[in-house]
């Protein structure tokens, strides 16, 4: 059964988006290592399943009572057999030993991997219900400090099999427990407050990979989606450069008015736009908002219509979201959206 | 402790046999209610446990139906997210604590004293206390729904999931009092469970009739002795972490306050030290029923009695050391992950032995396909699947993918429905004639079985695949185009079949109570002591306290030329 | 169906059938489940040793409670003497030892009250101050609440005995209550080691 599963996700040769996050279709090294041990275990389980089902079917078909006359004579009373019982104690023990060997080896290889010098370092901080993403740079003293901040969509470089370049993730949480899971790239790792976790990707296919928050974290757990964009090295470097650059100043009048509304309201106490007085930390960084593909952590594709909807009342798209309805007039909503659309 | 006269039971010749069927005498309703309120009789309490468990089963099952209705199609707006989150929290909590636990305690209450030839439990009043603690905890939990609008700031039902990971339960993230309803309800029902478990242990150890050594106890009683010990050891951690949570929420303690140095992972450890043995507390009674029903309908003694006892004890023992396999994704060290993966895999050994021994019991027998046996055979097949998906989950790297996905949802529903619920159905079909004096309808039973089985596999089979495709559990909706639609739709359609099956089961209970064939004392030609008394048994169970010489006293009686005690 | 007869005499019929007393098994089971409860609180205490983010810290506060520990451990001996006296039928001696046991238990509780009063009102450590306060008060408080329950049980026995209601058949009650009291003592040995000997260095 498990071998047939890749067939569930038949796809074009080189897609740009992988919509079906099939764990049996791994495209990254740790996911492949997990996949290999899963296949071994699944096959062993399949064989046991077939054998034992066969045994059940055999006794059910072979030993039914033949009706009332047959019932008068009881069958031979067998109380047990030490040899047989010993046999079916030893066989499961042997299987268990095999499973233990497969398991412990894979655990060590994935968990205890040393990250090379060229690894991309990213810190992801879970929030109710979005991801804060810090790209890190060396602080010169052997540690790491934030280079720039973005939200929800993780861009990572392609890692060719001959020249691997892993991405090392550090996971932290600002509030409750979340879990970061992109099945085709790696298993999940929980994102826990007051507790640091680590995971890594080494993808060998470009495109957008989908995932979900995998630990229940409150009302909008369902809409805490994950998008990972794996890019060719040059595209990734260009993206990094764009993200580091300061945002452009808005040009047209309506966007300038929107900017005034944005800075005149409490938007700034939760959102950050680099190079401005908006330095809030509770909501997603908006510096390069329009470089992302979705809003509300994946609840809708980004665009004028969805931004309008969101700014007018965030709870319309995402009921329960912590961003309040700012009670703006229709004109103000248009202005703010025009301003946001300039944050490229 | 005024029950000395009923427990020593030697001077009992002056009892008069007046077998009556409950409800047959035309008493007033008030007398009936009064009897239920004040009874300390283990059989009445047992039936009350099972009855109220089934009541909560219907309520929590309807919640599951609404959950499946919401998930049938992507981007559905049928149910609001917070309402949905309350549904799955209440569904899980109620199914474990208000359905599973009371029904197994009901079985133990009704059957353990009769099977060991006793007149009642060791502490009948403590027994009633245990029942009422559970009963009020259940209503208290559900009362959270009504407390919301009526009382200022009292919130509504809890929405924290049945394992309520901190810090989602902290005041900062769970305002109002919904989490308090959850935690207080579990604390009080836990106290009731510990009281009942203590009672089962004392009854089994001290009230066995003459000749019933530990080596001759029915495996059913053995299994419940093991279950009771697990409750005694595993429920205190749950109570402890509920106490800690209450201290956190009301007195500002810092147990799980991550802002003040508290640990979110500590809750998980404490909860699962309870939570994993709890799984075995729920499934071992299923094994207990298998151990009685499979031999009787195969017309052979259980294959390998000593190793079955050993396997029970071993499962219980190992289950106390595997809790962190629920936590492979929290970032334990590779050594910790390996330890818990290995200890978890070891459970497969005694469980495998049990499955093989049941097949060994059937081998060479003359199997009678009565309703209890049909459910037991389905149990074997379904529990096999549940066990094997459990082995897959125990492989920590595989679990990094599967954990908290729909695969896990499918796995534990195969354990708890395909395993436990099927044996509960089997037990009810098997012991209903004893409790009410009438047989349940075989014809309705077959319809119940097939509708429910089709529905069960249709609902939970596809969820394995949804999990493989990356669908996480506890999401109130999902986007279209991720390959999950068809599996969810199949799953939701299956619920309709399950509902029909349960409806027929309830109908069978009512119909057979009035119209069922009169059962007689021993309708299945069985071998344990409960079949040596009338159906239903009198208040004092046995006119004369029996004496036994083997594991199958009634076999000895029916086959004086070839009794068991010659071979044991 | 009362025909469990006509079977040959076996060893079972010669040896009397005497299963253990329900009270004793019940108390042992209760002690087992209580031990599991304490174990969790002890583990929580050990887990949080040295993890407080702010003071007061254990080493600033904790002093080894010699006299209170002496009283509680001593009461385990006196309750045994009392039981012994009861078995000999010496009622006045039983009353004396039983009363001393209660007095030592009350002294222990008094010490806890005094210690808590000092910590709360002078050292400003409450259950919400830091994780030390949280785990300290919950563990020591859980133990103290068991001492209270034990004292209530001991008091019941003393009162019924003084009113001449304690018959020969109640000797088993006295015995299992003494088991409970020994258990409360044993828990204190653990609490004393973990809280006052080990964590006092942090």
Nearest Cβ partner for B381 among A53, A74, A221:
A53
Query: How far is C-alpha B216 from the chain's CA centre?
Result: 25
- Condensed to tens digits (0 to 9), the pLDDT of residues B184-226 reads 999 999 999 999 999 999 999 999 998 899 999 999 999 999 9
Each of the 202 residues of chain C gets a pLDDT tens digit; together they read 444 444 444 555 557 788 899 999 999 999 999 999 999 999 999 999 999 888 899 999 999 999 999 999 999 999 999 999 998 888 999 999 999 999 999 999 999 999 999 999 999 999 999 999 999 999 999 999 999 999 999 999 999 998 988 887 788 899 999 999 999 999 999 999 999 999 988 8
- Closest residue on chain A to B357 (Cα): A85
| Residues in Cβ contact with B555 at an 8 Å cutoff, skipping those fewer than 6 apart | B301, B527, B563, B564
For position B235, what pLDDT does the model report?
96
Q: What is the pTM of this model?
A: 0.92
For position C11, what pLDDT does the model report?
52
What is the Cα–Cα distance from A247 to A262, expressed in whole angstroms? 15
Mean pLDDT of A49-70: 90
The neighbours of chain A, by the rule of 3 or more Cβ pairs under 8 Å, are B
pLDDT higher than 60, residue A258: yes
**B19 pLDDT band (50/70/90 cuts)?**
very low
Question: Comparing A72 with B172, which gets the higher pLDDT?
Answer: B172
| Residues in Cβ contact with B16 at an 8 Å cutoff, skipping those fewer than 6 apart | none
* Six token digits for residue C154: 């001991």
Contact A124, A167 (CB under 8 A): no
For position B175, what pLDDT does the model report?
83
* Six token digits for residue A212: 């979900």
ipTM over 0.90: yes
Mean pLDDT of chain B: 91
- Condensed to tens digits (0 to 9), the pLDDT of residues B489-516 reads 999 999 999 999 999 999 999 999 999 9
Contact C37, C80 (CB under 8 A): no
SS3 A30: helix
On whether the A253-340 domain is CATH 3.40.50.150, my answer is no
Query: By residue range, what is the domain housing residue B156?
Result: 44-566
- Condensed to tens digits (0 to 9), the pLDDT of residues B273-287 reads 999 999 999 999 999
Q: Indicate whether B22 belongs to any domain.
A: no
Mean pLDDT of A66-75: 78
Q: Looking at the complex, does the CB of residue C17 fall below 8 Å from at least one CB of chain B?
A: yes
Give the number of beta-carbon pairs within 8 Å between B and C: 124
End-to-end CA distance of chain A: 46
Mean pLDDT of chain A: 90
Closest CA to C50 of C184, C200, C167: C200
Q: For chain B, positions 520-539, list CB contacts with chain C under 8 A.
A: 521, 532-533
Share of chain A above pLDDT 70, in %: 95
List Cα–Cα distances, A133 to A136, A153, A169, A283, B536, in angstroms: 10, 8, 10, 12, 68
What is the Cα–Cα distance from B368 to A230, expressed in whole angstroms? 61
**What secondary structure letter does DSSP report for C198?**
I
B538 Ramachandran zone, left/alpha/beta (phi>0; psi -120 to 50): beta
The CA-CA-CA angle for residues C131, C134, C135, to 5°, reads: 90
For position A10, what pLDDT does the model report?
54
Contact A333, A312 (CB under 8 A): yes
Quickly name the fold that domain A14-62+81-245 has: Immunoglobulin-like (2.60.40)
**CATH 2.60.40.420 domain locations along chain A:** 14-62+81-245, 253-340
Instruction: Kindly tell me the burial class for residue C109, based on how many C-beta atoms sit within 10 Å of its own C-beta (0-12, 13-18, 19 or more).
Output: middle
Quickly name the fold that domain C21-49+67-201 has: 1.20.120
Cis, peptide link before residue B549, omega less than 30° from 0: no
Q: For chain B, positions 90-109, list CB contacts with chain C under 8 A.
A: none
CA–CA min distance B62, chain C (Å)? 35
pLDDT higher than 90, residue B20: no
What is the Cα–Cα distance from B432 to B440, expressed in whole angstroms? 7
Residues of chain B contacting residue C37, judged by C-beta atoms under 8 Å apart: 236-237, 239-240
Contact A148, A244 (CB under 8 A): yes
Cis, peptide link before residue B167, omega less than 30° from 0: yes
DSSP secondary structure string for all residues of B5-58: HHHH--S-TT-------TTTS---HHHHHHHHHH---HHHHHHHHHHHHHHHHH
Per the structure, the count of domains in chain B is 1
Q: Indicate whether B31 belongs to any domain.
A: no
The neighbours of chain B, by the rule of 3 or more Cβ pairs under 8 Å, are A, C
C53·B198 Cβ contact <8 A:
no
CATH of the domain at B420: 1.20.210.10
For position A5, what pLDDT does the model report?
54
**What secondary structure letter does DSSP report for A195?**
B
- Condensed to tens digits (0 to 9), the pLDDT of residues B124-180 reads 999 999 999 999 999 999 998 887 554 454 458 898 999 999 899 998 898 888 899
pLDDT higher than 70, residue A135: yes
Mean pLDDT of A10-31: 83
Cis, peptide link before residue B319, omega less than 30° from 0: no
- Condensed to tens digits (0 to 9), the pLDDT of residues B399-457 reads 999 999 999 999 999 999 999 999 999 999 999 999 999 999 999 999 999 999 999 99
- Condensed to tens digits (0 to 9), the pLDDT of residues B343-398 reads 999 999 999 999 999 999 999 999 999 999 999 999 999 999 999 999 999 999 99
Q: Indicate whether B293 belongs to any domain.
A: yes
Query: What's the count of helices (H) and strands (E) in chain C, helices before strands?
Result: 7, 0
Mutate to test the interface with C, among B205, B210, B249, B562 (most CBs of C within 10 A): B205
SS3 B148: helix
| Residues in Cβ contact with C164 at an 8 Å cutoff, skipping those fewer than 6 apart | none
* Six token digits for residue B78: 């049928």
Residues of chain A contacting residue B360, judged by C-beta atoms under 8 Å apart: 80-81, 84
Closest CA to B550 of B216, B272, B155: B216
Question: Where would I find the beta strands (DSSP E) of A85-234?
Answer: 120-127, 130-138, 144-151, 153-157, 167-173, 178-181, 189-191, 197-201, 207-213, 225-231
Domain positions in chain C are 21-49+67-201
B167·A59 Cβ contact <8 A:
no
Please name the residue ranges forming H helices in B94-123: 101-115
């Amino acid at each position: 059964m498990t071998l047939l599963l890749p067939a569930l996700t038949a796809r074009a040769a080189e897609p740009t988006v992988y919509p079906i996050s099939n764990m049996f279709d791994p495209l990254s090294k740790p996911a492949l290592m997990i996949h290999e041990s899963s296949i071994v275990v699944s096959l062993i389980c399949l064989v046991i399943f077939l054998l034992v089902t066969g045994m059940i079917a055999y006794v059910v078909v072979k030993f039914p009572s033949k009706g009332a006359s047959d019932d008068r004579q009881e069958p031979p009373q067998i109380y047990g057999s030490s040899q047989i019982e010993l046999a079916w104690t030893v066989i499961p023990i042997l299987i268990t030993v095999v499973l233990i060997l497969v398991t412990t080896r894979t655990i060590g290889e994935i968990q205890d991997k040393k990250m090379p010098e060229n690894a991309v370092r990213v810190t992801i901080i879970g929030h109710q219900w979005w991801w804060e993403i810090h790209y890190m740079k060396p602080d010169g003293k052997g540690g790491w400090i934030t280079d720039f901040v973005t939200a929800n969509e993780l861009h990572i470089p392609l890692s060719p099999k001959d020249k691997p370049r892993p991405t090392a993730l550090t996971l932290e949480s600002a509030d409750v427990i979340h879990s970061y899971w992109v099945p085709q790239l790696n298993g999940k790792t929980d994102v826990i407050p007051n507790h640091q976790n680590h995971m890594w990707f080494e993808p060998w296919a470009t495109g957008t990979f989908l995932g979900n928050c995998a630990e229940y974290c409150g009302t909008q757990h369902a809409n805490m989606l994950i998008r990972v964009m794996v890019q060719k090295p040059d595209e990734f470097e260009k993206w990094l450069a764009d993200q580091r650059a300061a945002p452009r100043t808005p040009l047209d009048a309506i966007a300038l008015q929107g900017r005034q509304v944005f800075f005149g309201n409490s938007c700034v106490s939760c959102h950050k736009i680099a190079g401005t007085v908006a330095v809030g930390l509770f909501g997603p960084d908006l510096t390069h908002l329009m470089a992302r593909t979705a809003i509300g952590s994946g609840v809708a594709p980004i665009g004028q219509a969805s931004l309008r909807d969101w700014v007018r009342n965030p709870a319309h798209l995402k009921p329960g979201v912590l961003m309040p309805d700012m009670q703006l007039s229709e004109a103000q909503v248009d202005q703010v959206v025009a301003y946001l659309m300039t944050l490229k | 402790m005024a029950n000395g006269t009923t427990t020593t039971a030697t001077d009992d010749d002056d009892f008069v046999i007046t077998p009556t069927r409950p409800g047959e005498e035309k008493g007033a309703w008030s007398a009936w209610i009064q009897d239920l309120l004040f009874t300390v009789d283990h059989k009445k309490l047992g039936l009350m446990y099972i009855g109220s468990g089934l009541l909560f089963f219907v309520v929590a099952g309807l919640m599951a139906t609404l959950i499946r209705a919401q998930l049938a199609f992507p981007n559905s707006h049928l149910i609001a997210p917070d309402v949905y989150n309350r549904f799955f929290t209440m569904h899980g909590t109620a199914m474990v604590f208000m359905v599973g636990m009371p029904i197994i305690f009901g079985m133990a209450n009704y059957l353990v004293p009769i099977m060991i030839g006793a007149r009642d439990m060791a502490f009948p009043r403590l027994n009633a206390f245990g029942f009422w603690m559970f009963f009020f905890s259940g209503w208290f939990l559900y009362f959270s729904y009504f407390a919301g609008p009526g009382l200022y700031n009292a919130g509504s039902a809890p929405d924290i999931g049945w394992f309520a990971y901190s810090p989602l339960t902290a005041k900062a993230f769970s305002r109002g009092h919904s989490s308090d309803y959850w935690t207080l309800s579990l604390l009080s029902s836990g106290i009731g469970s510990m009281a009942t478990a203590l009672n089962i242990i004392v009854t089994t150890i001290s009230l066995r009739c003459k000749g019933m050594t530990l080596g001759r106890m029915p495996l059913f009683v053995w299994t419940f002795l093991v279950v009771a010990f697990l409750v005694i050891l595993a429920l205190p951690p749950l109570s402890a972490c509920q106490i800690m949570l209450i201290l956190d929420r009301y007195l500002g303690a810092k147990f799980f306050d991550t802002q003040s140095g508290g640990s979110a992972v500590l809750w998980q450890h404490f909860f699962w030290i309870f939570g994993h043995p709890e799984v075995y507390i729920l499934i071992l009674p299923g094994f207990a029923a298998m151990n009685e029903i499979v031999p009787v309908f195969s017309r052979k003694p259980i294959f390998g009695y000593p190793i079955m006892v050993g396997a029970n004890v071993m499962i219980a023992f190992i289950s106390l050391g595997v809790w962190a396999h629920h936590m492979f994704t929290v970032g334990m060290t590779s050594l910790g992950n390996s330890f818990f993966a290995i200890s978890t895999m070891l459970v497969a050994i005694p469980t495998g032995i049990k499955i093989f021994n049941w097949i060994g019991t059937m081998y060479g027998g003359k199997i009678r396909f009565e309703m209890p046996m049909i459910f037991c055979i389905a149990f074997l097949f379904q529990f096999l699947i549940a066990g094997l998906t459990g082995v897959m989950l125990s492989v920590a790297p595989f679990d990094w993918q599967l954990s908290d996905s729909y695969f896990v949802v499918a796995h534990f529903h195969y354990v708890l429905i395909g395993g436990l619920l099927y044996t509960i159905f089997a037990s009810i079909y098997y012991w209903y004639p004893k409790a009410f004096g009438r047989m349940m309808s075989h014809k309705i039973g077959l319809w119940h079985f097939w509708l429910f089985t089709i529905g069960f596999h249709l609902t939970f089979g596809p969820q394995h695949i949804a999990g493989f495709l990356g669908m996480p559990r506890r999401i109130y909706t999902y986007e279209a185009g991720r390959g999950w639609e068809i599996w969810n739709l199949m799953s939701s359609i299956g619920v309709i079949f399950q509902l029909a099956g349960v409806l027929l089961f309830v109908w069978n209970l009512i119909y057979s109570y009035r119209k069922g064939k009169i059962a007689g004392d021993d309708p299945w030609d069985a071998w344990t002591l409960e079949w040596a008394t009338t159906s239903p048994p009198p208040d004092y169970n046995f006119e004369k306290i029996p004496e036994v010489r083997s594991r199958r006293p009634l076999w000895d009686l029916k086959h004086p030329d070839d009794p068991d005690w010659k071979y044991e | 169906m009362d025909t469990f007869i006509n079977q040959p005499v076996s060893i079972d019929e010669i040896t009397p059938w005497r299963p253990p007393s329900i009270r004793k098994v019940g108390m042992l089971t209760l002690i087992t489940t209580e031990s599991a409860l304490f174990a969790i609180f002890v583990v929580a205490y050990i887990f949080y040793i040295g993890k407080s983010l702010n003071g007061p810290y254990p080493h600033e506060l904790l002093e080894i409670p010699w006299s209170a520990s002496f009283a509680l451990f001593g009461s385990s001996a006196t309750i045994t003497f009392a039981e012994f006296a009861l078995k000999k039928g010496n009622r006045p001696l039983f009353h004396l030892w039983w009363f001393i046991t209660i007095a030592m238990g009350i002294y222990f509780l008094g010490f806890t009250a005094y210690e808590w009063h000092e910590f709360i009102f002078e050292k400003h450590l409450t259950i919400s101050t830091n994780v030390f306060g949280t785990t300290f008060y919950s563990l020591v408080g859980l133990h103290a609440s068991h001492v209270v329950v034990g004292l209530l049980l001991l008091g019941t026995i003393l009162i019924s005995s003084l009113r001449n209601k304690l018959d020969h058949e109640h000797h088993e009650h006295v015995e299992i209550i003494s088991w409970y009291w020994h258990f409360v003592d044993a828990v204190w040995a653990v609490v004393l080691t973990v809280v006052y000997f080990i964590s006092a260095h942090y």
